[in-house]
Amino acid sequence: MSIYDLTFYLFAAITVISAFFVVTTRNIVYSAYYLLFTFFGVAGIYVLLGADFIAVVQLVVYVGGILILLLFGVMLTNKITNVQIKTGTVKLVPAVVGVALLAGVLGASLLNTNWKTISSEVPFSTTHSLGLLLMQQYAVVFELLGILLLIALIGAASMARK
Amino acid sequence: MIHIGLSHFLFVSIVLFSLGIFGIVTRKNAVMVLMGIELILNSANINFIAFAKFGNFGYQGQIMALFVIILAAAEAAVALAIVLNIYKTFSTVNVDEIDTLKD
Amino acid sequence: MTETVLIQLAGIILFLPLLGFIVTLLLGKKIKLIYNFENAIIIIAFSLSVVLAFIKLSYYPQNTVVGEFQWINLGNLPVLGPVSIDLGIMVDNIAALMIIVVSLISMLVHIFSIAYMKGDKRYNRYFAYLGIFTFSMNGIVFTHNILMMYIFWELVGLSSYLLIGFWYEKKSASDAGKKAFIVNRVGDLGMFSGILILFYTYHTFTFDKIFQQIGMGHIPFNSEFWLTVTGILIFCGAIGKSAQFPLHVWLPDAMEGPTPVSALIHAATMVAAGVYLVIRVFPILSGGALFFIAIIGALSAFIPATIALTQNDIKKVLAYSTISQLGYMILSLGVGAYSFAFFHLITHAFFKALLFLGSGSVIHAMHHEQDIRKMGGLRKKMPITYATFLIASLAISGIPLTSGFLSKDGILAGTFAFGSLTGNWFFAAVGFLVALLTAFYMFRLVILTFHGEPRDKEKYDHAHESPFVMAMPLVVLAALSIFIWYTPNPFNPEQGPLLSQWIKAPVIYTPQDARYPFMRSDAAPKELGQTAQANNEEVVFSETYTEAMHNAHVPAMLLSLFVAGLGLLFAFLFYQWKKLNPDKLAEKIKPLYNLSLNKWYFDEIYDATFVALTLGISRLFAWIDAHIIDGIVDGSASLTRYISSFSGKFDNVVVDGLVNSTAYFSGFVGLVFRRIQTGKVQTYIVLVVFSLVIILFLFKSF
């Protein structure tokens, strides 16, 4: 068992366990904090997969942006003085059955597939290559996404103001 | 003990995905539903990057993951705005109480 | 300057008034001053007509310019043979002169109406109607085929109907409009039959082609009798439109319309259309048809002249005198004096329009008083109207130095020549008698209206001379009633270019046997026959006829002068100097007087015969309608109702039952499925998850 394997298991455990708590904890604010760990674990997995730039982006955007947004959502839609920042659960039985079935089926197909894997050696830093790709081959998509983001933010702002 | 390979990463992805679905289905609060969606998006990203590494696709998978993150940011902003509007209209964000589509 | 330009010019003149009509009618209610547009259009049309006539008469005095296009081509039909209908514009000298007359009088009447109709509530509509009338009249003038002439003929009838009944709130006006329309239909029926015979025989409507085929000896049903019948049938249209005996009864009633309309339509132009039609078809009229035309013309000249003697309504007198003068023209055509008929058409158009506009001026001044017994002495109040009216009266009476003298004298000479050639002096006698009567009744009218002492003091005091826009047309028309425009020599019309160069009797195409003896081309004396043969295209009537006309000229002139003077003298004796008492004379010849006063009882006779017959037939049909046809209809109605009630029951029970049970079924199914639709997002997502699982199972990728 190499150090690589150990690291993987560590991050995978962090990810899965914290994700489990995210969806089961009754307090929403706690859920949000567990979500932080999930994102962190996922970022670690990215690093193991050789995607260092993506891992950093994951941390910056998710933890720094989206998570904060979600927290704001919680604050704005619940009275903060009210201790009961909790959420109930519904349809527990069909959800458990359905999700278990789904996971079983997906896992079965994962094990039954004969994956053709050629593990390529990933260079130390991917940032330079990704930058070139974004500015050359995916320049148009990149621009479009920028515009999309702008529109989404303006739209969100105008919707929330009403 | 087998060597860590593609299947391991995909397995983590499956678990994450299932937990996301579970969260979306069971939690009442709309913000919690959003969190479930984020989990699902993360599982998809793990898939992209794992295939990029083991499928020898170069950087295409990573680029795709990058785009997903951008879209997730946009989606989070819009969804939050929607949630705020729902809260203003119905004075609640519990999705099981918002069933006026039925009528 | 090419002939194409001439055709284009004619086309523009033709369609300009239509444009005026459409614009004025559509915008009449929105824009108060739109009538100025119509007036401007008509002035432009007149200017173009002058240009057209100038070009035609100075550059192409001999040619006939035709522009035509194919309208309908039906190919070779089984019974009729090849059928192709052409429409087109023909500009010959007659049309060029006629268009000037029409557009000039139309323009003057437009101008006159600006003041005369002032304050009318349908002011703009009135001008629109004048526009469509001018359009249709131009169409008649320019047509090169008889179908187009028929179309515009009916359009003219329509505009006449609209304008007679213009004040339709007045029952007499709307009745007069209907009467004119219906009486005209009687004549048009004949004309239509004639056109059908021509088309059946020649497969074309174009005048020239028909003439050529007749010239080659191809006549309807191979019989000269049918040629005569065709001519008479077509002439029936002219009887109706020109108000000839026995269909003249509509014209006096048509005086219910506005007076300028009477001047334009019922005196100068539309009624002249009948004469114009006869002029157009003159080459195919056989001797028999011409004789019939002459008789109708003579009767129409004589009977209304006697009626006019006793009428007291100023417009009625003029109306009967119009019929009488139109009778003159028809008579003139009937005896072969073709060019004088057209000459009289022109001169009469001017002085009769003048008379009507003058009477309009008087009526306007007298606040719509039309009874001449209540007038008198207006000479001092209305000098311009009096002077112009007097000139026109002199012209219509045939006093020298006027245009009427020239043309009327020519017609009388024609009847005289006819008498000397055939020995039939009846027409000449009627002609001179009518000339006497005309002079008498016209001056009776002038004296009663303008001379003497005013008989209705109050109205006289309010009378005044008309404004400029009404006086100006009078002066223009009065100027045109002087001889100088037509010939430099006041006693010989043939010295002017009008008769010597422009109006030429046409080539006659009828078979030699069917003509009057003096019209046959071999009827010339032997030594003159050579020239007649050599110039066959130019000299149409025989030398004999020319000779006879020449000989008739002087005696006819002297005789006509004598009778006109006699008529004038009697008029003055009776009404001016009061040497003779008209009432006593009327008392002495009471039956004749009553006959004249009651218009020869034509209306009463028609009422008792045709109208009563029609009413009787109508009542019979009404009875059949009410009892037999309605019975059938009612029976079928109750049958239908029975069937309907049965089918209604079927509907209620069976069909509705089916429909309702379908609805219940759908409702039931809906109730069941409604349970699934909770409206909750999460329920749907659970369903999606299960569906996904099922799909994955189906793919069986493991």
Write down which chains contact chain C via at least 3 CB pairs under 8 A: A, B
Residue with the larger pLDDT of the pair B100 and C234: C234
Q: Is the pLDDT of residue C401 over 50?
A: yes
Chain A CB within 8 Å of residue B19 CB: yes
Whether residues A143 and A77 fall in one domain: no
Residue written as token pair 């002066």: C475
Structure confidence by residue, pLDDT tens digits, C559-585:
888 888 888 888 888 887 777 777 777
Residues A50 and B53: beta-carbon distance below 8 Å = yes
Range of the domain at A62: 1-87
Provide the b/e sequence for C236-265 (b: ≥16 CB within 10 Å): bbbbbbbbbbebbbbbbbbbbbbbbbbbbb
Chain C nearest C-alpha distance from A100 (Å): 10
Structure confidence by residue, pLDDT tens digits, C531-552:
434 344 444 566 677 777 777 8
The half-sphere exposure of C356 on its side-chain side, counting CA atoms within 13 A, is: 33
Interchain proximity A69–B63, CB inside 8 Å:
no
CB contacts of A149 in chain B (<8 Å) are: 70, 73-74
Whether residues A76 and A130 fall in one domain: no
CB contacts of B103 in chain C (<8 Å) are: 679
pLDDT at C526: 39
Average pLDDT over residues B52-76: 86
Structure confidence by residue, pLDDT tens digits, C248-263:
888 888 888 888 888 8
Strands C81-91 and C65-77: antiparallel
Interchain proximity A108–C683, CB inside 8 Å:
no
Interchain proximity A98–C683, CB inside 8 Å:
no
Whether A95 is covered by a domain: the verdict is no
Interchain proximity A109–C701, CB inside 8 Å:
yes
pLDDT at C533: 40
Q: How far apart (Å, rounded) are the C-alpha atoms in residues C156 and B76?
A: 82
pLDDT at C525: 43
Q: Which CATH number fits domain B6-90: 1.10.287.3510, 3.30.565.10, 3.40.920.10, 2.40.40.20?
A: 1.10.287.3510
Interchain proximity A109–C686, CB inside 8 Å:
no
Q: How far apart (Å, rounded) are the C-alpha atoms in residues C422 and A150?
A: 111
Mean of all residue pLDDT scores within chain C: 83
CB contacts of B52 in chain A (<8 Å) are: 49, 51
Q: Nearest chain C residue to B27 by CA: give it.
A: C682
Interchain proximity B95–C686, CB inside 8 Å:
no
Residues A157 and B80: beta-carbon distance below 8 Å = no
Give residues 1 to 30 of B whose Cβ lies within 8 Å of C: 21, 24-26
pLDDT at C513: 73
> Where do the DSSP E strands lie in C27-161?
65-77, 81-91
Q: Nearest chain B residue to A35 by CA: give it.
A: B35
Q: Nearest chain B residue to C677 by CA: give it.
A: B102
The DSSP letter of residue C371 is B
pLDDT at C264: 85
Interchain proximity C702–A108, CB inside 8 Å:
yes
pLDDT at A18: 92
Interchain proximity B99–C679, CB inside 8 Å:
yes
Give residues 37 to 56 of B whose Cβ lies within 8 Å of A: 38-39, 42, 45-46, 49-50, 52-56
Chain C nearest C-alpha distance from B64 (Å): 24
Q: Long-range contact list for C542-551, CB < 8 A, 24+ apart? A: C542/C518, C544/C421, C544/C518, C545/C336, C545/C417, C545/C421, C545/C518, C545/C519, C548/C417, C548/C420, C548/C421, C548/C518, C549/C337, C549/C413, C549/C414, C549/C417, C551/C417, C551/C420
Type of residue numbered C214? I
* Candidate from A98, A111, A113 with C-beta closest to C686: A98
Whether residues A80 and A15 fall in one domain: yes
Structure confidence by residue, pLDDT tens digits, A55-93:
999 899 888 888 888 888 888 876 544 545 555 666 677
Q: What is the ipTM, given to two decimal places?
A: 0.86
pLDDT at C527: 40
CB contacts of A39 in chain B (<8 Å) are: 42
pLDDT at B101: 64
Chain A CB within 8 Å of residue B34 CB: yes
Whether A150 is covered by a domain: the verdict is yes
Chain C nearest C-alpha distance from B103 (Å): 8
Whether residues A19 and A66 fall in one domain: yes
Whether A110 is covered by a domain: the verdict is no
CB contacts of B33 in chain C (<8 Å) are: 681
CB contacts of C680 in chain B (<8 Å) are: 95-96, 98-99
Chain C CB within 8 Å of residue B101 CB: yes
Whether A97 is covered by a domain: the verdict is no
Q: Nearest chain B residue to A141 by CA: give it.
A: B67
Interchain proximity B62–A15, CB inside 8 Å:
no
Closest CA relative to residue A78, chosen from B96, B22, B36, B94: B94
Q: Nearest chain A residue to B1 by CA: give it.
A: A1
Q: Say if residue C246 is preceded by a cis peptide, omega within 30 of 0.
A: yes
Structure confidence by residue, pLDDT tens digits, C95-113:
888 888 888 989 988 888 8
Q: What is the CATH number of the domain that holds A26?
A: 1.20.120.1200
pLDDT at A16: 92
pLDDT at A39: 92
CB contacts of C696 in chain A (<8 Å) are: 105-106, 109
Residues C105 and C353: beta-carbon distance below 8 Å = yes
Whether residues A57 and A7 fall in one domain: yes
Interchain proximity A113–C702, CB inside 8 Å:
yes
CB contacts of B2 in chain A (<8 Å) are: none
pLDDT tier for residue C340 given thresholds of 50, 70 and 90? confident
Residues C99 and C13: beta-carbon distance below 8 Å = yes
pLDDT at C251: 86
Whether residues A19 and A83 fall in one domain: yes
pLDDT at C529: 40
CB contacts of A1 in chain B (<8 Å) are: 1
Chain A nearest C-alpha distance from C693 (Å): 6
Interchain proximity C696–A109, CB inside 8 Å:
yes
Residues C138 and C14: beta-carbon distance below 8 Å = yes
Residue with the larger pLDDT of the pair C75 and C332: C332
Structure confidence by residue, pLDDT tens digits, A90-143:
667 777 888 888 888 888 888 877 777 666 665 667 888 888 888 888 899 999
Chain A CB within 8 Å of residue C683 CB: yes
Residue with the larger pLDDT of the pair C38 and C674: C38
Chain A CB within 8 Å of residue C692 CB: yes
Q: Nearest chain A residue to C683 by CA: give it.
A: A91
How many residue contacts between A and B have a Cβ separation below 8 Å?
232
Structure confidence by residue, pLDDT tens digits, C35-78:
888 888 889 999 988 888 888 888 877 778 888 888 777 777 77
Whether A52 is covered by a domain: the verdict is yes
Q: How far apart are the first and last CA of chain C?
A: 98
DSSP H helical segments within chain B, as ranges? 6-26, 30-54, 60-90
List the single best residue of A28, A52, A53, A77 to mutate versus B (max B Cβ within 10 A): A77
Structure confidence by residue, pLDDT tens digits, C192-228:
999 988 888 888 888 888 888 888 877 777 788 888 8
Q: Which residues of A touch C (CB under 8 A)?
A: 90-91, 94-95, 98-99, 101-102, 105-106, 108-109, 111-113
Chain A nearest C-alpha distance from C682 (Å): 8
* Candidate from B25, B26, B99 with C-beta closest to C678: B99
List the single best residue of A14, A16, A23, A115 to mutate versus B (max B Cβ within 10 A): A23
Domains of chain A: total: 2
Write down which chains contact chain A via at least 3 CB pairs under 8 A: B, C
Give the contacts of A80 (CB within 8 A, at least 6 positions apart).
none
Domain ranges of chain B: 6-90
Average pLDDT over residues C465-488: 84
Whether residues A71 and A135 fall in one domain: no
pLDDT at B102: 61
